[in-house]
Amino acid sequence: MSRPEPAQAQDAAHQPPYLSAARVLDLDPLLDDPRTRIVVCCGSGGVGKTTTAAALGLRAAERGRKVVVLTIDPARRLAQSMGIDSLDNTPRRVKGVEGDGELHAMMLDMKRTFDEIVEAHADRDRAAAILGNPFYQSLSAGFAGTQEYMAMEKLGQLRSRDEWDLIVVDTPPSRSALDFLDAPKRLGSFLDGKLIRVLLAPAKVGGRAGMKFLNVGMSMMTGALGKLLGGQLLKDVQTFVAAMDSMFGGFRTRADATYKLLQAPGTAFLVVAAPERDALREAAYFVERLAAEDMPLAGLVLNRVHGSGADRLSAERALAAAENLEDSGIVDQEDGKAGLRNSPDRQDSSASAASGPPDTGASAPDAGSPAGTDTEDSATEDAPRAAVQHVERSVDQLTAGLLRLHAERMRLLTRERRTRDRFTALHPEVAVAEVAALPGDVHDLVGLRDIGNRLAAHRHELPAPELPDRAAES
Amino acid sequence: MSRLQVVSGKGGTGKTTVAAALALALATEGKRALLVEVEGRQGIAQLFETEALPYEERKIAVAPGGGEVYALAIDPELALLDYLQMFYKMGGAGRALKKLGAIDFATTIAPGLRDVLLTGKACEAVRRKDRSGRFVYDHVVMDAPPTGRITRFLNVNDEVAGLARIGPIHNQAQAVMRVLKSAETAVHLVTLLEEMPVQETADGIAELRAARLPVGRVIVNMVRPGVLDDADLDLVRSVPRAAVAKSLSSAGLGGARRGGTAQRLVDPLLAQADEYAERYALEQEQRAALAALELPVHELPLLAEGMDLAGLYALARGLREQDLS
């Protein structure tokens, strides 16, 4: 893939909404490539990570691959759309997938995953001791952090089963999107650390001559820990650590293996973001971090982008035109009464709602408009002159509303573009796929398929750097 | 008004912004509010356009009427050392613990302890009094973890009190829970008028209630202005395109004839109106779902120009006008 052309200097007002100096992320070749074995979707919370992961999984499956999607904490209806609302920690085949491929989906059950590791790596008595330990029960039930370890553990398990061509994994909604990268390392450093030895001290350290100084320190430490934690909790922790001791090597090995797996050529990271300052800041941070860790970044998925088919009409011009219509309405109104407000149900519409300062109250349009609009509509056909005038007035008013709506859209679009361009200026090497904002949420495979199309078809939507007349195309 | 105001919400709903606006709103008339960040993102500093906050309470804004907003980004590691020193005079032991990796363990590997420290520090600020016996802060506003984790986060001390059945941690955990479960605390949830955040809000409220944590209010953020009303939307479905083209043309936007500039605007503008209609209907459904929660619901507008300091003050004013502070 070639480097992007440098951005051409353009009049800001004439930049098309999708224009960007960034490369376009072409997702189909990535999904189709048999060498792609893992796609990791990461990003801050609320940007549509899980939906993106599910849509990519479905798309890859419908393009013929055998795919499993590992979701961490899907919204209920999204999970239902894939038929995985049962939380049993194993991949289930999704019905309704078209084509030769297969889609499987699963939802991570942290506690179950943790329990399975214990059961698989400790003999029965020891496993029972661990599973019954109160400290273990708290830890495994999902304090923040456990999710990250277990997500990576599950990914490692799925990959080693080698049953799927492609694993698409969603990452936990962490404090920081990077937590899951750090989790295996943190576990490793803990396992190598001195603390473990301190905690195991009563059982292990006694007697070695060279360790004498350390021993004094350690008994002081356990004393301090005991004072702090309360003797019984310390005992629980110690029992837990002692019971887990035999398994630590396994943890360590697998954590390292998973980390290496993330760096392997078959892995592709997709950073998911929305065109908002915070989400893109997090995305930029992630991009830098992935580079530092030698993890392969495929690109950025920018969700919820607002475009417009009429993007040549600026917010300012649209507003001025709306005002024109409204003003002329008042001037032309022969009876000189309320002007364009002659229909009572319009009293409060466009003019007051959109021109004032941001309305802090609930500025929802009046839901209970009086009936009477129907007569307006039916009057369109053949009506007395007065009614025609009335309809024209309504059309002007509607048009003013359309223009105000457009102005609002253009302001949003301009802000989103600015935010995105800041990101692409800093990271021109990152390929970007933009997905238009949808009015509603995704509830079924049809919706996911639609998102998949948008993800992959984006390149066709990109206008050339010189602005084409998009309004003419529609 | 509760002295500890916890602000949670699904990711992406703007809970940091709402927490900051709430702190500003609460700090009017000479009051002092502390805005606490627990997730180490430095979101507060970015919002107030200042450098990254240290682990130190520092004044970051003056509210209208002379109130003050202080901010604190809680660092779990420093909070632990602080806590060891404050309660056990164990500052030295803290250093030794750090060398051992125990601090790392406590603040990252055993994440429950991390939450203990974060909630503990916030509650300490709530209870702190000056020499004359007055509370140092009239209000503490916490920018808390997201809805999916909030109940567990706030309830962590119950869990700890169960784990450590005696000793200082047990006592400390219980003291924190006494604050969190009292009328001194209110947990607010920030949402958008979209299905997933609203669903998560409903689930979060059910969890909070089951854990007997005091639920405060629902704050709907980024509400878009109403531009078209029901009558407009009816008309959108039936209006002749030529009429709209003519109207656009009369507004000075070019020719209304086929291929004219105004005529070419009609389809995209009507398509935007259709999208608006769809979204508007969904928003009304979500409003109804929120009303069914039987909690006070407040709305804050979407700021078209994006979030900046002026916008933050505007939101604070909005909260005050809605009597949220």
| Identity of the residue in B96, B225, B282 whose CB atom sits nearest the CB atom of A439 | B282
Lowest mean pLDDT among A18-27, A194-203, B29-38, B191-200: A194-203
B307 lies within 8 A of chain A by CB: yes
Query: Per the structure block, which two tokens stand in for A90?
Result: 């194993």
Domain assignment present for residue A188? The answer is no
Domain assignment present for residue B138? The answer is yes
What pLDDT was estimated at residue A166?
A: 97
Assess whether A441 and A400 both reside in one domain: no
Domain assignment present for residue B286? The answer is no
Assess whether B170 and B240 both reside in one domain: no
What pLDDT was estimated at residue A153?
A: 84
What pLDDT was estimated at residue A342?
A: 40
Domain assignment present for residue B192? The answer is yes
Assess whether A104 and A69 both reside in one domain: yes
Domain assignment present for residue A195? The answer is no
Whether residues A146 and B163 touch (CB distance < 8 A) is answered with: no
Per CB-CB distance under 8 Å, the chain B contacts of A340 are none
B49 lies within 8 A of chain A by CB: no
| Identity of the residue in A143, A328, A405 whose CB atom sits nearest the CB atom of B228 | A405
Compare B102 and B272 and report the one with higher pLDDT: B272
Identify which of B181, B96, B274, B163 has the alpha carbon closest to the alpha carbon of residue A406.
Answer: B274
The identity of residue B162, as a single letter, is G
Assess whether A329 and A461 both reside in one domain: no
Per CB-CB distance under 8 Å, the chain B contacts of A252 are none
A344 lies within 8 A of chain B by CB: no
Domain assignment present for residue A236? The answer is no
Size of interface A-B (CB pairs under 8 A): 326
The C-alpha of B58 sits at a distance from chain A's nearest C-alpha, in angstroms, of 23
**Number of folded domains in chain A?**
2
Query: Per the structure block, which two tokens stand in for A359?
Result: 């309305």
Residue of chain B nearest A314, judged by CA positions = B253
Assess whether B149 and B272 both reside in one domain: no
Assess whether B208 and B244 both reside in one domain: no
Whether residues B101 and A195 touch (CB distance < 8 A) is answered with: yes
What pLDDT was estimated at residue A12?
A: 41
Best residue of A140, A195, A323, A444 to probe chain B, by most B CBs closer than 10 Å: A195
B228 lies within 8 A of chain A by CB: yes
Assess whether B85 and B219 both reside in one domain: yes
Mean pLDDT on B136-156: 92
Assess whether A261 and A327 both reside in one domain: no
Domain assignment present for residue B297? The answer is no
Assess whether B209 and B259 both reside in one domain: no
Whether residues A358 and B314 touch (CB distance < 8 A) is answered with: yes
Residue of chain A nearest B87, judged by CA positions = A228
Most confident listed range (A198-207, A222-231, B78-87, B199-208): B199-208
pLDDT band at B66 (very low <50, low <70, confident <90, very high): confident
Assess whether B177 and B108 both reside in one domain: yes
Assess whether B215 and B257 both reside in one domain: no
Assess whether B100 and B245 both reside in one domain: no
Assess whether B200 and B234 both reside in one domain: no
Assess whether A295 and A383 both reside in one domain: no
Q: What is the pLDDT of residues B281-295, one digit of tens each?
A: 999 999 999 999 999
Whether residues B271 and A309 touch (CB distance < 8 A) is answered with: yes
Assess whether A79 and A150 both reside in one domain: yes
Assess whether B105 and B236 both reside in one domain: no
What CATH number does residue A302 fall under?
3.40.50.300
Q: How far apart are CA B195 and CA B289, in angstroms?
A: 9
Q: How far apart are CA A67 and CA A56, in angstroms?
A: 10
What pLDDT was estimated at residue A470?
A: 43
Compare B23 and A173 and report the one with higher pLDDT: B23
What pLDDT was estimated at residue A355?
A: 39
| Identity of the residue in A45, A363, A415 whose CB atom sits nearest the CB atom of B225 | A363
The identity of residue B90, as a single letter, is M
Q: What is the domain range of residue A117?
A: 17-179+252-306+437-465
Q: How far apart are CA B221 and CA B240, in angstroms?
A: 36
pLDDT band at B204 (very low <50, low <70, confident <90, very high): very high
Assess whether B32 and B162 both reside in one domain: yes
Q: How far apart are CA B203 and CA A409, in angstroms?
A: 32
Q: How far apart are CA A338 and CA A333, in angstroms?
A: 8
Whether residues A441 and B196 touch (CB distance < 8 A) is answered with: yes
Residue B92 has pLDDT above 80, yes or no: no
Assess whether A87 and A154 both reside in one domain: yes
Which residues, in sequence order, are CB contacts of A310 under 8 Å at separation 6+? Answer: A406, A470, A471, B265, B268, B269, B272
Best residue of A196, A278, A311, A323 to probe chain B, by most B CBs closer than 10 Å: A278
A401 lies within 8 A of chain B by CB: yes
Assess whether B103 and B180 both reside in one domain: yes
Domain assignment present for residue A449? The answer is yes
Assess whether A56 and A164 both reside in one domain: yes
Residue A161 DSSP one-character state: H
Best residue of B83, B117, B199, B227 to probe chain A, by most A CBs closer than 10 Å: B227
Q: What is the domain range of residue B84?
A: 4-224+302-321
Per CB-CB distance under 8 Å, the chain B contacts of A238 are none
Residue A2 DSSP one-character state: P
Q: How many CB atoms lie within 10 A of CB B242?
A: 14
Whether residues A346 and B273 touch (CB distance < 8 A) is answered with: no
Residue B61 has pLDDT above 50, yes or no: yes
| Identity of the residue in A146, A321, A360 whose CB atom sits nearest the CB atom of B301 | A360
Q: Which helix (H) or strand (E) holds A117?
A: helix A110-121
Q: How far apart are CA B275 and CA B268, in angstroms?
A: 11
Which residue ranges in chain A fall short of pLDDT 50?
1-20, 203-214, 330-383, 459-474
| Identity of the residue in B43, B169, B322 whose CB atom sits nearest the CB atom of A229 | B169
| Identity of the residue in A145, A358, A441 whose CB atom sits nearest the CB atom of B108 | A145
The identity of residue B64, as a single letter, is P
**Number of folded domains in chain B?**
2
Whether residues A45 and B12 touch (CB distance < 8 A) is answered with: yes
| Identity of the residue in A139, A345, A363 whose CB atom sits nearest the CB atom of B226 | A363
What pLDDT was estimated at residue A14?
A: 41
Residue of chain A nearest B278, judged by CA positions = A439
ipTM: 0.87
Domain assignment present for residue A263? The answer is yes
The C-alpha of A3 sits at a distance from chain B's nearest C-alpha, in angstroms, of 31
B114-131: b or e for each residue (b if 16 or more CB lie within 10 Å)? bbbbbbbbbbbbbbeeee
Domain assignment present for residue A454? The answer is yes
Residue of chain A nearest B150, judged by CA positions = A144
What CATH number does residue B97 fall under?
3.40.50.300
